[in-house]
């Protein structure tokens, strides 16, 4: 077991071959993540060096911005798997889901049962950073009535909740699980997000973690997270991600 208080180590030492990164944007040229296949392979190789071997990649599906669907995502996944084989990265397990913006397009996909879950019934959702949907709790209810379990991506990044901390408990009570971005444990998204991330951890509100990797700069910041107290706080959550294997 790591002795966090004796030696300063990077958060990347917490990754094991049981860990599944459930949030990343590694499919090339499909959203604001990796731009091409070469970049994707380089990112996966670097993350493999940390010990990450299991990926569920989650391209954005956002009406009017990233008009992705099952039909655009799955062929890209097939191409990526083929490329991984050509690079002899045979120990990499990679699947595709999506990060769904809670918009009118999502409501249509939900009604049509045209969703890509992370595993079984768990789906990754996000909100606008400007304000939550006016019918947020109705949407969460409808997701569960349809047989899915919502996981809210990076709850710590929604600034409209930062001074309304009780909203986080309400979301959990409404059946929403939380996925923390590991980069929030640095100051990559700013001090306020960092502060809220720690508070959510301290309040035992976080269920899973993800790298939300888009580009190499994200991995550089990830390597810089080495505060022993933070690592001790986040370490137990890493184990939860193994359920997606």
> Of 191, 192, 181, 193, which Cα lies nearest the Cα of 218?
181
In sequence order, the 6+-apart residues with CB closer than 8 A to the CB of 159 are 129, 192, 193
In this structure, is residue 2 part of a structural domain? no
In this structure, is residue 146 part of a structural domain? yes
Residue 73 predicted with pLDDT over 90: yes
Tokens read off for 71: 């039909």
CATH number, domain at 136? 3.20.20.140
In this structure, is residue 101 part of a structural domain? yes
Share of the chain above pLDDT 70, in %: 97
Domain carrying residue 79: 11-244
Residue 190 predicted with pLDDT over 70: yes
pLDDT of 107-116, one tens digit each?
A: 999 999 999 9
In this structure, is residue 6 part of a structural domain? no
Q: What is the DSSP letter of 30?
A: S
Question: How much is the pTM?
Answer: 0.95
Tokens read off for 86: 């050509």
pLDDT at 8: 80
Domain count, the chain: 1
């Amino acid at each position: 077991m790591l002795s966090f208080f004796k030696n300063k180590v990077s958060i990347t030492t917490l990754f094991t071959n049981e860990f599944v990164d459930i949030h990343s944007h590694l499919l090339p040229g499909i959203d604001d993540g990796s731009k091409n296949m070469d970049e994707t392979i380089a990112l996966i190789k670097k993350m493999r060096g940390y010990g990450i071997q299991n990926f569920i990649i989650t391209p954005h599906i956002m009406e009017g911005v990233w008009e992705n669907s099952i039909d655009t995502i799955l062929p890209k996944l097939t191409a990526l798997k083929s490329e991984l084989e050509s690079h002899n990265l045979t120990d990499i397990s990679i699947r595709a889901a999506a990060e769904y913006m809670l918009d009118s397009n999502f409501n249509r996909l939900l009604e049509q049962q045209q969703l890509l879950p992370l595993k079984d019934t768990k789906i990754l959702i996000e909100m606008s950073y400007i304000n939550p949907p006016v019918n947020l709790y109705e949407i969460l209810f409808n997701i569960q009535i349809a047989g899915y379990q919502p996981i809210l991506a990076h709850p710590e990044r929604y600034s409209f909740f930062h001074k309304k901390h009780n909203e986080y408990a309400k979301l959990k009570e409404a059946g929403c699980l939380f996925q923390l971005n590991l980069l929030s444990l640095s100051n990559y998204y700013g001090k306020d997000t960092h502060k809220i991330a720690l508070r959510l951890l301290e309040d035992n509100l976080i269920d899973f973690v993800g790298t939300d990797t888009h580009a190499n700069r994200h991995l550089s910041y990830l390597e810089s997270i080495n505060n022993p107290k933070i690592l001790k706080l986040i370490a137990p959550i890493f184990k939860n991600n193994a359920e997606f294997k």
